[in-house]
Amino acid sequence: MPSFRSLEADEVECRIGQIAKNGSGLSLLLFKTARTDMDILDETVGPDNWQCKFYEQKGTLFCSTGIRVKREDGSYEWVWKDDAGSPSNMEAAKGEASDCRKRSGVCWGIGRELYTAPRIWVYAQGRDGSINCDIQQGQNGKWQCYDHFSVERMDVRDHEILYLSIRNDKTGRAVYTWAKQGNQTQRPANEPVNAPSQEQLVEMSGLITELAKFRGVEADKVIDGLMSSSAVRSAGVQDGKIETARQAAAAIGQLKAWIEKS
């Protein structure tokens, strides 16, 4: 079965959950988009090796995500995982389709780390008197906030969030930071956020060796071709260095695609 990398900070979006009755702060919810699921499926298993189907059951829309996996005997089969969606407040039908698609992706492990996020509460005013978010009372008497927020850093290991930092896009200030207490797996200071896992590095090395054997060339030749491929360059690889889990996943996906065609 395929193994999917964790999400990176720029693949996670924030939306306001609720605002305090006195306007003193607000909660934020983290979510992924269906587009992110599609991008990760493409880079991990290849565009031709996954598909989605929608169906309705007892008035509820379901999405089934299928991935073509290789059996031990060398043959292939489609494996499916399903989940239901909930309508959104705006464009209910479209929102329900997107929601069940994302939940189906979670069944495969895409974005499952978001369920380990802490409760995110942003106070309207910081301890130093600075403004974290602009909460105002509307004409209807309800508190409103039109600020936008982004995840500026998110450290993940084994699909668990260990560190989280969120900024207000309008002010550019960090308005929320959190670190898991008692975390004994902090990364070295010089290690990039969301660095490739050991499993990814081992798998990539094995695929390079396997492809070199198929083609009858040295492993260095395969590596040179890999680093110049559009899939790897699109993932942000520079100077032939794979530094993030996303880049490693792109490289693994490209190697698997080449091996399948060999």
Q: Taking Cα atoms as reference points, which of 197, 164, 199 lies closest to residue 179? A: 164
Q: Can you tell me whether residue 126 is helix, strand or coil?
A: coil
pLDDT at 79: 96
Mean pLDDT of the chain: 87
Q: What is the pLDDT of residues 127-153, one digit of tens each?
A: 778 899 999 998 888 999 999 999 999
The pLDDT of 156-175, averaged and rounded, is 91
Instruction: Fill in the amino acid letter for 60.
Output: T
Q: What is the pLDDT of residues 58-96, one digit of tens each?
A: 889 999 999 999 888 989 999 999 999 887 655 566 788
Q: DSSP of 85-146, one letter per residue? A: ----SSSHHHHHHHHHHHHHHHHTTTTGGGGGPPPEEEESB-TTS-BSS-EEE-TTS-EEE-
Residue with the bigger pLDDT between 95 and 98: it is 98
DSSP state of 189: T
Q: Can you tell me whether residue 90 is helix, strand or coil?
A: coil
pLDDT at 190: 42
* Adjacent-strand bridge partners of 62: 55, 84
* Adjacent-strand bridge partners of 78: 68
Burial of 189 (0-12, 13-18, 19+ CB in 10 A): exposed
Most confident of 132-136, 183-187, 193-197: 132-136
- Res 108 pLDDT > 50: yes
pLDDT at 91: 59
pLDDT at 55: 94
Q: Which of 14-23, 25-34, 158-167, 187-196 has the lowest mean pLDDT?
A: 187-196
- Using 50, 70 and 90 to split pLDDT, how confident is the model at 2? confident
**CB of 44 closer than 8 Å to CB of 67:** no
- Res 187 pLDDT > 70: no
- Res 193 pLDDT > 60: no
Q: What is the pLDDT of residues 202-258, one digit of tens each?
A: 788 889 988 988 888 888 889 999 999 988 888 888 878 888 888 888 899 899 889
